[in-house]
A and B are shown apart, each in its own frame.
Chain A
Amino acid sequence: MHAMMTVKHTAAWALLLWPCLFTVSVPLDCKDEQVSITRCPFISQEKLLDRVIQHAELISRISEETCSLFEEMFVPFPLRLQRNQAGYTCITKALPIPSSKSEIQQISDTWLLHSVLMLVQSWIEPLIYLQTTLDQYDNAPVILLNKTKWVSEKLISLEQGVVVLIKKLLDEGALTASFSEQSLFQYEPAPDLLESVMRDYILLSCFKKDTHKMEIFLKLLKCRQTDKYNCA
């Protein structure tokens, strides 16, 4: 029941934050479409970063809830430990992303943002896949499906925000997401249902970790932006 309440709470959060999409996406549209300036509301860098962080936090929370929900519904108890064993089988393991705090504190802002961007772009496609696969479950709860759908949508907006951030903070031009072109995720048809379940389970757990990572990276970035000396 607590999960249900948190899911509802998260849904409410999502509804509240839905105008953020515009604020995040509009600058992109303005720049891409060469629309007049009056149609593009201006947003400050701090506010943009805050909203990106909010996005990341929400996504992380929803992903955690989704994974827990899936685990309770479909994954037997003994098999739940297998996600740990499949740590190196996450799709993003190949990305050069630091994972210890010491390393993270040492990398630059650029690298932080790029890391986040890579993560986000890596997970857009698997989430779409997840939606399709979860629909195939007969007794999948509606909440699970809605959450998954919501997360995939938010992930796209997060990606857009991060892109703008990169442009603003790093003064870089339009970044062609080279990583997104490579499809890290390769869909393989599962031999049986259990495998499919386990694969989905691992996928969700990996996604949970990566969203957690994204959130921490963005927060660290914000800390660096506001007070550089304490965020060593």
Chain B
Amino acid sequence: MAIHSLSCHLLLLLLMSSLDGLIKPGSAFIHDWDQRASSVTLEPHITGCLSRDQETFRCWWSPGNFQNLSSSGALRFFYLKKESPNSQWKECPHYIYSNRECFFNMTYTSVWITYCMQLRGENNVTFYNENDCFSVEDIVRPDPPVNLNWTVLSISPSGVSFDVRVKWEPPPSADMATGWIRVHYELQYRERNTTKWEALEMQPQHQQTIFGLHIGKKYEVHIRCRMIGFKKFGELSDSIFIEVSEVESTETTFSFTIVVVFGIVGILILVMLIIVSQQHRFMKILLPPVPAPKIKGINAEMLKKGKLEELNLILSGGGMGGLPPFAADFYQDEPWVEFIEVDAEDTDSGEKEDHQGLDTQRLLGLPQPINQPMNIGCANTISFPDDDSGRASCYDPDLLDQDTPVLVTTLLPGQPENGEALLDVVGGTSTPERSERPLVQIQTTGPQTWVNTDFYAQVSNVMPSGGVVLSPGQQLRTQESTSSTEQEETQKREKDSEGEEKKEQQFELVVVDPEGHGNATESIAQQALTTPVSPIPGEGYQTIQPQQVETRQAAASEDNQSPYVGPEFPMAQFSVPVSDYTIVQEVDTQHSLLLHPPPHQSPPPCLPQPPPKSLFGMPVGYITPDLLGNLSP
């Protein structure tokens, strides 16, 4: 019931107030400052009152439609301060006619006390509205804050949005230090060219953060404040504009530069450390060492390790070393180089001196010491390099002795018996067995002195047995018994390699046809015997050149060298100092070339072959076919 009656009363009141609102404009200025109801008759009225600091306030009036009262002074402003029931109306303490304003200073301003305003015209005409009463604290509208500024608080990692901190100062007119006024601030912002303002929460601090603004967009910000506990806001401040462009990401560029600088510094430090710690390597990079001289294909390690076979291979030019064949000269000068012979008895390559001695003797057809334990590498000056690692490359005087009869017989078909004998001796000659050499050596009996060899010695005489006498100071081999040679041959026949035979044949006896029939054996010709050849007049000669030789044929020229075989020369030891270059006059059984037949020696008892006929008739001897026949054993 009570509620129902109450509601009825309220409705009536509402109706009345609405009517009143129509009749009396401006009555509600307390509640709504801006609202001005329009009406037909507009009498002078108070348009509004305002206080900024709760210490003073102002009121404005308007004459309305009453033009006769528009002049200044026509209307008077009165106020009533309801301090007591006996309060009186008082006139405005301070007129500002230009604004139609009445200003109340601090003396006349009392807070928490109701003021009523009225206008009076002449003749005590009063224009009064009861509703124009207020209390000062209700009309306080603080001034807007000042010194609004903004700073970027942070930028999102994506670079899309950023946060801004806005700061301001309280309005100077408001006495906030003493606490006379306590305000709340309201910050508003909006994007440029939009209509709706975004309002942040009210708070009493002098700064506020706006989150989530977009980079590249322009924003407008302003602020206002109002008293705490009251409704009326003050005026809005002037707008400030916030814009962050993408270029302003100084933090990222700054961090990037920091990273780059630190990277460079780190790299520099690393380089310095490398230089300091590893100077040698660095110096190597800067200044590469000068290479030591070395022979292409020959490794110094090979020599150290004693791999003479490989070295021979390389030096012979057959291997990958690719040394040219003429290096055989050098090769032959050092007979010990090649002859690390693989033999059943040979295990050590260290006895090079022995090899040297043995080889030389072998070359010269001299008897070798019996107690030669080692196998002799063929230290022949006449030898030539071949594929076989020194084995077949050496000149084997045994072979020569053996082959010579063959060759001799071929050369001297006129002496078939000798030739046959020779052939018998020689025909079956196989590559001399290395082990047989001592036997061969033994066969060479007779006083044989071993003279200091000069490996460019010349063959001074060739024994009919095939031995070769080398000069200077070389002793001829004595005539060897045919039996011994036969033994040799048989033994040698067993072990034979064609290549060696070829080469030995090739090596041992070469007869040059001065008339240009054949080719001189290059092997012999190349090395020691470069005797100028004077052709034997009227006699044709055949080159005792085994047909098997293929490679060496073209090398020698017939004019230059011509080892000669003089089977007619007696196989006697002969030590005659000769010139460096002489001719082969005999070939003894041991396939040694005798350059000068030994005159003193008696022919050996067991001469397997008849002593060759001397060819003294010809200082430069040529083997005639009939002479060759004498060579046959």
Chain A residues in contact with chain B, CB under 8 A?
Answer: 57, 60-61, 64, 76-81, 84-88, 93, 99-102, 138-139, 192-194, 197, 208-210, 212-213, 215-216, 219-220, 222-223, 230-231
A88/B106 in contact, CB under 8 A: no
Alpha-carbon distance A86/B107, docked complex (angstroms): 23
B111/A100 in contact, CB under 8 A: yes
For A87, list chain B residues within 8 Å (CB).
82, 113-114, 133, 135
* Contacts A80-B31, A212-B229, A223-B178 supplied; 16 other A-B pairs, CB < 8 Å: A79-B17, A85-B130, A87-B135, A88-B114, A99-B83, A100-B106, A138-B2, A194-B6, A194-B9, A194-B10, A209-B137, A210-B112, A212-B112, A216-B180, A220-B180, A230-B178
B84/A88 in contact, CB under 8 A: yes
Query: Would you mind naming 10 contact pairs between A and B with Cβ atoms under 8 Å apart?
Result: A60-B229, A76-B13, A79-B17, A88-B83, A88-B84, A88-B85, A101-B106, A101-B111, A194-B10, A209-B137
Contact residues of B between 47 and 100, Cβ < 8 Å to A? 54-55, 82-85, 87
For A100, list chain B residues within 8 Å (CB).
106-107, 109-111
A102/B106 in contact, CB under 8 A: yes
Known contacts A81-B131, A87-B114, A88-B82; A223 and B179 CB within 8 A of each other: yes
Give B86's nearest chain A residue, CB to CB.
A88
Distance in angstroms from A76 CB to nearest chain B CB is 5
For A86, list chain B residues within 8 Å (CB).
114
What total of A-B pairs shows CB separation below 8 Å? Answer: 112
For A219, list chain B residues within 8 Å (CB).
178-180
Q: Range of interface residues on chain B? A: 35 or more
For A230, list chain B residues within 8 Å (CB).
177-178
For B138, list chain A residues within 8 Å (CB).
84
Give A64's nearest chain B residue, CB to CB.
B229
A193/B85 in contact, CB under 8 A: no
B110/A193 in contact, CB under 8 A: no
Alpha-carbon distance A60/B112, docked complex (angstroms): 14
For A93, list chain B residues within 8 Å (CB).
83-84
Distance in angstroms from B250 CB to nearest chain A CB is 40
Alpha-carbon distance A88/B116, docked complex (angstroms): 12
Distance in angstroms from A230 CB to nearest chain B CB is 6
For B6, list chain A residues within 8 Å (CB).
193-194, 197
Q: Is B20 in contact with chain A by the CB < 8 A criterion?
A: yes
Chain B residues in contact with chain A, CB under 8 A?
Answer: 2-3, 5-6, 9-10, 13-14, 16-17, 20-21, 27-28, 30-31, 54-55, 82-85, 87, 106-107, 109-114, 116, 130-131, 133-135, 137-138, 177-180, 182, 228-230
A101/B109 in contact, CB under 8 A: yes
Give B138's nearest chain A residue, CB to CB.
A84
Alpha-carbon distance A99/B112, docked complex (angstroms): 7
Known contacts A64-B229, A88-B85; A193 and B17 CB within 8 A of each other: no
Give B81's nearest chain A residue, CB to CB.
A87
Give B18's nearest chain A residue, CB to CB.
A78
Give B131's nearest chain A residue, CB to CB.
A81
For A193, list chain B residues within 8 Å (CB).
2, 5-6, 9
For A197, list chain B residues within 8 Å (CB).
6
Alpha-carbon distance A231/B180, docked complex (angstroms): 10
Known contacts A101-B55, A101-B106; A209 and B31 CB within 8 A of each other: no
For A80, list chain B residues within 8 Å (CB).
31
Give B30's nearest chain A residue, CB to CB.
A81
**Contact among B110, B114, B137 with A212 in the assembled complex (CB-CB below 8 Å):** B137
For A139, list chain B residues within 8 Å (CB).
3
The 10 residue pairs across chains A and B that have the minimum distance between CB atoms: A219-B179, A78-B17, A87-B114, A64-B229, A100-B110, A84-B133, A99-B110, A223-B178, A193-B6, A209-B112
A81/B133 in contact, CB under 8 A: yes
By CB atoms of chain B within 10 A, which of A79, A100, A210 has the most?
Answer: A100
For A212, list chain B residues within 8 Å (CB).
112, 137, 229
